[in-house]
């Protein structure tokens, strides 16, 4: 019996217009009313994730930054894994070529959560994020000097080819043993994100820890996602479900499949594996 449901946000919970389809909201409400714990597992920050969740039940757990931090909706911390300062500086030193695509993310209440030095926020794939999150974004003179505490991650965003190059480049560095490098891709927009966290930090390891804190066995967990950064949690969960709009590599990986995010595929999966049972 499924006792915990882990849901990705972009491409899973939200449709292609950035809204929660009514069918998804209704299915989540019914699952929560049946006693299923709802965990939102996302690459977004806690602040940014909350913007998408206003319509959902109050009793939510947010697993954010691709598994680095877990908090209740009210802000109580359940899990926190940071990237050591020295490692973050090594990552920045190894990726100078991509500095215009780089930022550092910190676990701070508001201002200064995301800091950058050379990123161009007028880029079409970045402008919307800047508009919605301006309060937490801060410009600095030099990114290395801003690493005055352990960050959550060093993050990059840009074109698909450039982000794959960063991922490959970091995997060949000595510092790679201390890193978890997660790729999220949106090929239709030629936009990707590379999130560099402490080694062993993924949605899968974060979900395992959160489930353990709730006393829920692996076999009683269901996860639904659509992108590369979801793969680890889909593999860990007792039931892993990929969306109809998922990246081809995920759809070929043997997971259960459901409809697309524009067809409320999340609601279909909840009906099939939780409410239908």
Res 110: pLDDT: 80
Give the domain range for residue 176.
Answer: 85-198
Query: 185 and 91, same structural domain?
Result: yes
| Tokens, residue 57 | 């039940």
Are 98 and 174 in a shared domain?
A: yes
Q: Indicate which CATH number applies to the domain containing 16.
A: 3.40.50.1000
* pTM to 2 decimal places: 0.95
194 and 211 both lie in a single domain:
no
Residue 189 phi, psi (nearest 5)? -105, 0
Q: What is the pLDDT of residue 111?
A: 86
Q: Domain check: are 73 and 114 in the same one?
A: no
Domain boundary among 198, 233, 256: 198
The reported pLDDT for the residue numbered 109 is 86
If asked whether residues 141 and 112 sit together in one domain, one would say yes
Looking at the 3D structure of the chain, how many domains does it have? Answer: 2
**CA 193 → CA 93, 111, 173, 188, 196, distances in Å?**
19, 22, 19, 14, 10
Which domain CATH number covers 172?
A: 3.30.1240.10
pLDDT at 277: 55
Taking only the tens place, the pLDDT of each residue in 187-224 is 999 999 999 999 999 999 999 999 999 999 999 999 99
Work out the burial of residue 184: count CB atoms within 10 Å of its CB; fewer than 13 is exposed, 13-18 middle, 19 or more buried: buried
The CA distance from 216 to 225, in Å, is 20
Low-confidence ranges of the chain (pLDDT < 50): none
Tens-digit pLDDT profile for residues 20-31: 999 999 999 999
Whether residues 242 and 172 fall in one domain: no
């Amino acid at each position: 019996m499924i006792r915990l449901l882990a849901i990705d946000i972009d491409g899973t919970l939200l449709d292609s217009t950035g809204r929660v389809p009514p069918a998804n909201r209704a299915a989540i409400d019914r699952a929560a009313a049946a006693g299923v714990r709802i965990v939102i597992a996302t690459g977004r920050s806690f602040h940014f994730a909350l913007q998408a969740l206003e319509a959902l039940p109050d009793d939510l757990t947010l697993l954010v930054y691709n598994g680095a931090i877990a908090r209740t909706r009210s802000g109580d911390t359940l899990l926190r894994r940071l990237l050591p300062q020295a490692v973050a500086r090594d990552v920045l030193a190894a990726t100078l070529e991509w500095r215009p695509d780089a930022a550092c993310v910190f676990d701070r209440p508001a201002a200064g959560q995301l800091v950058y030095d050379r990123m161009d926020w007028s880029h079409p794939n970045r402008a919307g994020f800047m508009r919605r999150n301006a309060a937490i974004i801060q410009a600095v003179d030099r990114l290395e000097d801003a690493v005055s505490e352990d960050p959550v991650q060093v993050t990059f965003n840009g074109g698909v080819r450039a982000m794959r190059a960063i991922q490959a480049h970091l995997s060949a560095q000595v510092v790679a043993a201390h890193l978890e490098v997660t790729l999220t891709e949106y090929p239709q927009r030629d936009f990707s994100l590379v999130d560099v966290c402490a080694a062993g930090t993924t949605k899968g390891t974060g979900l395992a820890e959160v489930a353990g804190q709730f006393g829920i066995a692996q076999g009683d967990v269901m996860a639904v996602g659509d992108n590369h950064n979801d793969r680890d949690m889909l593999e860990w969960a007792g039931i892993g479900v990929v969306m109809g709009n998922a990246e081809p590599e995920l759809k070929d990986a043997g997971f259960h499949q459901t409809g697309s995010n524009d067809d409320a595929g999340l609601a279909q999966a909840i009906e099939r594996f939780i409410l239908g049972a």
